[in-house]
Structure 1
Amino acid sequence: MALGPASVKNEGTKEFDFTARDFERVRSLIYRRAGIALADSKQEMVYSRLARRLRATGIRSFQQYLDQLESHADSPEWEAFTNALTTNLTAFFREAHHFPILAEHARKKGGPLTVWCSASSTGEEPYSIAITLCEAFNSLTPPVQIIATDIDTNVLNTAAHGVYPFERVEKLEPERLRKFFLKGRGEQEGLVRVRPELRQLITFKQLNLLEGGWPVQGPFDAIFCRNVMIYFDKPTQGKILSRFAPLMKPDALLFAGHSENFLYVSNAFKLRGKTVYELNQGGAPVRPANPGKLEKML
């Protein structure tokens, strides 16, 4: 794929040479590894994030760094490479209209419930799910199991600890803050920790949605896959959705991000409400994804 006029420019202030060929290699490697389709406009972001890896490893050129990655398929640097290029924008109760729908679904079904949060980032989303279900069952120990996964091991570590700057929760209702968070004191001033009851509802696991074997087992009552499909091209989206469907109970819900539309990717789902899907029972087989040109998404 030619870069054309958007080719990488090596300014005199850059610490490392970063050529158009280097950028194309990065795009190819992260697509094969994690399904992420990098747009031309992400050249500076790629340089900035991977330059940190060159400094950390003592390697003096992008070519040498990428050569070492490609020649050592089992190198731990692959994890750092993937973590560096993963975007983790999240917030508590982001896209808030989803959570009353989840609560209604939980009250209607009763327990036990299993929910998979497939792109948990630093934990705000699975903890929002846990709070919602505690409120739905009016209990800090509801009959609920939440599996929270992400490809990025760094953010999973943050999520498992459940400690955040107060600024991350200050917009929550005072009653939720009081009930579900512990305020730090002394050296922990300015921090909050989610209550241990919430953390006990969630199992955090590393998972790459492109890998052949997922370390999760259904059937699930709900799957959250929000604001992650936008980083994949349509063939990749189609493959992932086709693997979600068998893991869902017949009345399960699939929650998507505000800019994601699955109707043009798979026939396995139908729209129930705003960015909320359910299985298309008795519908046509899953539509084969268009194997054409990669879309520029990230």
Structure 2
Amino acid sequence: MTGTDLIRLELSTDAFEQIAAILAERTGIRLEPGTERLVVSRLSKHLRRLGLASFEAFLEHIRRPSGAEDLAAMIDALTTNTTRFFREAGHFRILEQDIMPRLAQKARAGGRVRIWSAACSSGEEAYSIAAVVAKCMPDVGQHNFRILATDIDSKVLKAAQDGRYPATAKRDAGPDFAARLFEETRDADGMLRVRAALRKLVTVRYLNFMDPWPVSGPFDVIFCRNVAIYMEPDTQMRIWSGLEQVLDRDGVLFIGHSERIGPPLSDRLELFGPTSFRRPGAAMSQ
């Protein structure tokens, strides 16, 4: 029996529930019963690195001040980061065809334009947005137009800041956007890098939805997709309400296809496309 097998045997129901409670308190994310194997697979390497033989010992460690870095590592490890370029392509079509004409006009008239990728993971969503913006507005760099990309996972934020992706990213971007997005690097590993002009549009920052938000808006567009689905209903509503408060009068909010905003905000946000919301009477294109 290997060391890994021994660690797997140590994930008791009580230890799982304690880990789930810490994750919920710190991030709002809910670990459902039945995800024990996921916890084991993502945390075992940290137990081995620390030389700990059980999850109980790991829990004791991360509750001490000296375990703060490993607590952060646990949160990073248990945060789901499924993403790709132009995921849920319908939202990007709406951005390109219905929203960008108005935003380009606003920026060229001297206005401030802000788009928020509120759970950017390793950056694919934010750079997909940037590619659409640059396609619709080639002179975007001359105007007050910026994209904010935030996430709770410090590891993926580093990847987002680097803007380097495997060659398979071209397939996800498709022929229309691959050339706009990437420049070939000289690295032997054949990685692609997002073009410098697009990287300049994007600011990458850490944000935990359970902490006070260091953003004030207003945002013309917010992408917050496939985040609230992992949270309790009251936490979801707090996030939707917070996003609505920093949304511009004519702003648009995109959420994940498995998510629902619910009746409490129905008088302030209306559905106008697949999981696409705006304020009643908001302007789209001009």
Q: TM-score range by the shorter chain?
A: 0.7 to 0.9
Residue by residue, what CA displacement relative to the aligned partner does 1:143-187 show, whole Å, maximum 9, x if unpaired?
A: 320110000000000011011110122243334222321113451
Moved over 6 A (4+): none
Q: State the AA in 2 paired with 1:256.
A: I
Q: How is 1:1-298 mapped onto 2 (pairs within 5 angstroms)?
A: 13-16=5-8, 17-72=10-65, 75-103=68-96, 104-109=98-103, 110=105, 111=107, 112-139=112-139, 141=141, 143=143, 144-185=145-186, 187-189=188-190, 191-211=191-211, 213-264=212-263, 266-267=265-266, 268-279=268-279
Counterparts of 1:261 and 1:28, CA distance in 2: 24
Which segments of 5 or more consecutive residues in structure 2 lack a partner in the other structure? 282-286
User: Identity across aligned pairs (percent)?
Assistant: 35
TM-score, normalised to structure 2's length?
0.88
Counterparts of 1:250 and 1:244, CA distance in 2: 12
Report deviation, 1:43: 0.6
Give the secondary-structure state (helix, strand or coil) at the position aligned to 2:87.
Answer: coil
- Gap change, CA 1:97 and 1:116, over 3 Å in 2: same
- Gap change, CA 1:222 and 1:50, over 3 Å in 2: same
TM-score, normalised to structure 1's length?
0.84
Q: State the AA in 2 paired with 1:125.
A: E
How many residues align? The count is 268
The answer (yes or no) to whether the contact 1:148–1:203 under 8 Å persists in 2 is yes
The answer (yes or no) to whether the contact 1:49–1:84 under 8 Å persists in 2 is yes
Report deviation, 1:223: 0.6
Which segments of 5 or more consecutive residues in structure 1 lack a partner in the other structure? 1-11, 282-298
Counterparts of 2:207 and 2:234, CA distance in 1: 19
The answer (yes or no) to whether the contact 2:7–2:54 under 8 Å persists in 1 is no
Q: State the AA in 1 paired with 2:183.
A: L
The answer (yes or no) to whether the contact 1:140–1:197 under 8 Å persists in 2 is no
Q: State the AA in 2 paired with 1:177.
A: A
The answer (yes or no) to whether the contact 1:237–1:265 under 8 Å persists in 2 is no
Give the secondary-structure state (helix, strand or coil) at the position aligned to 1:79.
Answer: helix
The answer (yes or no) to whether the contact 1:133–1:142 under 8 Å persists in 2 is no
